[in-house]
């Protein structure tokens, strides 16, 4: 579903590459976790998959298409993006935040409203209670649930999740991880998930890509294989 083919990225003004000759293959319906220390290029990799930045060399293929040739609206339909700093718009209600992408895609209001209700149910927030709230009226865990709902709004086959639970306290994080795994059983997305927490990687990943300094992948395997051959 996602292929990175010898992708390198050197940021303008920088001498060392952030990513070097990185190849990665993500199958439809699996959760691949990118794990590794800060600064090893995980976020850069995510941002190249959804074309927020362009590789210096190499190609990113999404379901057979080079992402360079996929326009921005089409990418929004195909990829949902969840980040640590949730990024909910503070002056907009929960419902409006979740409706952002469908609205940008020109869905009818009735369809957006129904989808918002469905998504709130899906992420475990009572629509009657939460649709009209503002982000600051929610806990961190609730905001992150809204972030996940927003990313799922247009039902994209691919979800990119960059440390989505990184800022959440450990007990709530554990519950969000369980909820996410249960949700994935229903929705079968192709997920690329970034964390620096190896326990989270082992818990969530069908496969784990261990990043090393300099933007390379040191090991790419199932959690069981990685635990057996550290």
Residues that bind ligand ADP (CB under 6 A): 11, 14, 18, 38-44, 92, 95-96, 99, 103, 109, 112-113, 116, 131-132
Q: In angstroms, give the least distance from the CB of 185 to ligand ADP.
A: 26
Closer residue to ligand ADP in complex, CB, 26/120: 120
Closer residue to ligand ADP in complex, CB, 28/85: 85
Q: In angstroms, give the least distance from the CB of 28 to ligand ADP.
A: 25
Closer residue to ligand ADP in complex, CB, 135/157: 135
Closer residue to ligand ADP in complex, CB, 99/156: 99
Assess contact for 206 and 31: CB atoms under 8 A. yes
Closer residue to ligand ADP in complex, CB, 16/28: 16
Cβ count near 188 (within 10 Å) = 12
Token pair for 137:
């009226």
Q: In angstroms, give the least distance from the CB of 73 to ligand ADP.
A: 17
Q: In angstroms, give the least distance from the CB of 78 to ligand ADP.
A: 22
Q: In angstroms, give the least distance from the CB of 10 to ligand ADP.
A: 9
Closer residue to ligand ADP in complex, CB, 133/175: 133
In Å, the largest CA–CA distance within the chain is 53
Residue 182 and residue 82: Cα distance in Å, rounded?
Answer: 17
Q: In angstroms, give the least distance from the CB of 96 to ligand ADP.
A: 4
Q: Are strands 19-26 and 79-83 parallel, antiparallel or unpaired?
A: unpaired
**Can you say how many angstroms the Cα of residue 146 is from the centroid of all Cα atoms in its chain?**
14
Extended strands (E) in 10-56? 19-26, 31-35
Q: Where are the alpha helices (DSSP H) in the chain?
A: 42-49, 72-78, 94-98, 100-104, 109-122, 127-130, 140-152, 170-187, 198-204, 223-228
Residue 154 and residue 102: Cα distance in Å, rounded?
Answer: 6
Taking CA atoms, 207 is separated from 29, 192, 210, in Å, by 12, 10, 10
């Amino acid at each position: 579903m996602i292929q990175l083919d010898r992708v390198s990225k050197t940021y303008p003004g920088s001498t060392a590459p952030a990513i070097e000759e990185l190849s990665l293959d993500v199958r439809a319906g699996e959760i691949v976790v990118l794990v590794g220390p800060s600064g090893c290029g995980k976020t850069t990799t995510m941002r190249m998959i959804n074309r927020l930045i362009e590789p210096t060399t190499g190609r990113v293929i999404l379901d057979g298409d080079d992402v360079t040739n996929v326009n921005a609206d089409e990418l929004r339909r195909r990829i949902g993006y969840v980040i640590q700093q949730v990024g909910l718009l503070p002056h907009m209600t929960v419902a409006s935040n979740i409706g952002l992408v469908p609205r940008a895609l020109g869905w009818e209001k009735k369809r957006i409203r129904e989808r918002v209700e469905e998504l709130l149910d899906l992420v475990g927030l009572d629509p009657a209670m939460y649709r009209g709230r503002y982000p600051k009226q929610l806990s961190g865990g609730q905001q992150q649930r809204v972030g996940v709902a927003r990313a799922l709004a247009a039902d994209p086959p691919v979800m990119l999740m960059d440390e989505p639970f990184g800022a959440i306290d450990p007990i709530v994080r554990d519950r969000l991880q369980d909820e996410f795994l249960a949700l994935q059983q229903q929705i079968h997305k192709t997920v690329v998930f970034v964390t620096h927490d190896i326990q989270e990687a082992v818990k969530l990943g069908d496969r784990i890509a261990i990043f090393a300094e300099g933007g390379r992948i040191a090991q790419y395997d199932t959690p069981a294989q990685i635990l057996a051959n550290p």
